[in-house]
Structure 1
Amino acid sequence: MLEQLKQIDNRRLYQQIADQIRTLIREGNFPMGSRLPPERDLAQQLGVSRPSVREALIALEVEGSVEVRMGAGVYVCAPLEQAPHATAAMGESPTELMQARAALEGTVVMLASARVTEEALAALQRALKDMRSAIVQNRSPLAHDREFHLLIAGMTGNSVLERLVRELFDERHSPISSQLRVRSESSQTWNEALREHEAILGALQRRDALDALAAMRMHLHASQVRWVESNRQEWS
């Protein structure tokens, strides 16, 4: 019933997948109120990864075509006349975004480790202290998370790298990334991120470039798992 996905344009993959699912809905394969096949089945039949299908379903949810119900699956909820004919761009793919951040910030933290100063370390410690306080007070520590990463980028002395780190981090505010973030963030996940930040800081304090690289990549991979791979039961 589902055709193999054909990449015929240069739009983001989640847009192409969402368009195919919407076409199936329009053709009556999934009537209004019906439950879509499990994520793993959609991924297999479309020939794409499960995270890509998840991103497509989030895009369809943002536009109002489907509803993701906790632990129950994904249901068609928009009448055909209200659904758009093509999925709008809602930001970069969260999966690709985290992969790009790991590649870029791994290099950034290695460069930073060669330019460590006591002043820079003190600023990083303050950012983590503020992050910890926000978590304890049940406030979002996102601003302090951002500050930590930008401080490291600033340590390189390269304004282009600093700008790129900032731009990639701020993609978290795109519609598709924000929707995933709402589903995945909790005090537990923020405490995990805090511990990972502390490991990065420890490597910088030791001026150990390889440990800093490993700690940064581990942190961003763990962030991807928490952010993009979490709550799979919602989609099954």
Structure 2
Amino acid sequence: MSQSGSSSEPGRPELVSMSIARRLVEAIRAGSYPAGSRLPVEVELAREFGASRVSVREALSALQFAGYVESRRGSGTIVLSATPSNPGESRVVRRMPVDHLQLLEARLVLEPQTIALGACDPDPTALRLARQLIDGMALSVSAPEIDVDTDLRVHTALVETCRNTYLVGECRGLLKAASDSYFQNARSTAWQDGELLASWVREHRAVWEHIAAGDAESAMRASREHLLSVVYRFADDDTLATADRARMATIHARFSKFDLTSDLRANERPQS
């Protein structure tokens, strides 16, 4: 891919797609494209920026992941907000509310199971959107000016590959609860760790690939392992109260011992 523009890291040229994403964010924040308006189509943006449609598509994926825009069938790319994410505040030693611990447990139970069911017969439109968001996340993590500090949209897109609306609805509720200020502050801190974010991109991509391949067991395992990595990070967080860190360690140990093969095959056993 050709390269141009200013660099987000000294000495390194900026990718064309990253440059386009940055300039579009600047235009959205400046009010050139207010919330509810439609961005020009890919071919027009490619002409405007003197770039390929592939680079434009990558840039739009990054903006979609960050929450600035949304792709709507029949309507094009719609601007959602000029400020889609809220920067986290500095943290102090704190106690985690009991319901937040229960929320993490509920996600560890439900999210991987829903994704596993989705892998059995994934919704093709949802699968395509999930791939776009993961690609967008990969670009966004190397572009701090896009100002994004959550990957919950990717989690939501992955569970939405499941066609069971009841399970998807429950997962959406859990993910919405996980977007509150407490968890958002933790994510904002995590978003400063480039290596961690790169690993999250790889983990999300692995989940997607298993869903696309129809491998329910591997999709469930990859989803659970990603969530456990988040729990482990809490257990290792020295700004969290000691008692809560211990509970996180217990949750991590408990779910790490789950037999995923048994989980998946339990419903296949014939009734006696």
> Structure 2 length as normaliser, TM-score?
0.48
2:223 aligns with: 216
CA distance in 2, matches of 1:97, 1:185: 21
Q: Alpha-carbon deviation of 1:146?
A: 2.5
Going from structure 1 to structure 2, the CA distance change for 1:123 and 1:92 (only over 3 Å counts) comes to: farther
Give 2:148's match in structure 1, choosing from 123, 140, 149. Answer: 140
Q: Alpha-carbon deviation of 1:92?
A: 5.7
CA distance in 1, matches of 2:239, 2:127: 41
CA distance in 2, matches of 1:221, 1:150: 17
Where 2:211 maps in the other structure, the secondary structure is helix
1:195 aligns with: 202
CA distance in 1, matches of 2:137, 2:98: 26
Percent identity reads 21
- Asked if the contact 1:112–1:153 (Cα under 8 Å) also holds between the matched residues in 2, the reply is yes
1:55 aligns with: none
One-letter amino acid of the counterpart of residue 199, structure 1: A
- Asked if the contact 1:95–1:224 (Cα under 8 Å) also holds between the matched residues in 2, the reply is no
Q: Alpha-carbon deviation of 1:225?
A: 1.6
Unaligned runs of at least 5 residues, structure 2: 1-88, 243-272
2:175 aligns with: 169
Q: Alpha-carbon deviation of 1:126?
A: 0.4
1:113 matched to 2:124: no
1:46 aligns with: none
Higher relative contact order (CA 8 A, sep 6+): 1
2:211 aligns with: 204
2:161 aligns with: 155
Going from structure 1 to structure 2, the CA distance change for 1:124 and 1:232 (only over 3 Å counts) comes to: same
Unaligned runs of at least 5 residues, structure 1: 1-61, 69-73, 76-86
> Structure 1 length as normaliser, TM-score?
0.54
Q: State the superposition RMSD in angstroms.
A: 3.0
Q: Alpha-carbon deviation of 1:105?
A: 0.8
Going from structure 1 to structure 2, the CA distance change for 1:125 and 1:91 (only over 3 Å counts) comes to: same
CA distance in 1, matches of 2:153, 2:136: 10
- Asked if the contact 2:112–2:220 (Cα under 8 Å) also holds between the matched residues in 1, the reply is yes
2:3 aligns with: none
CA distance in 1, matches of 2:164, 2:240: 42
Q: Alpha-carbon deviation of 1:127?
A: 0.8
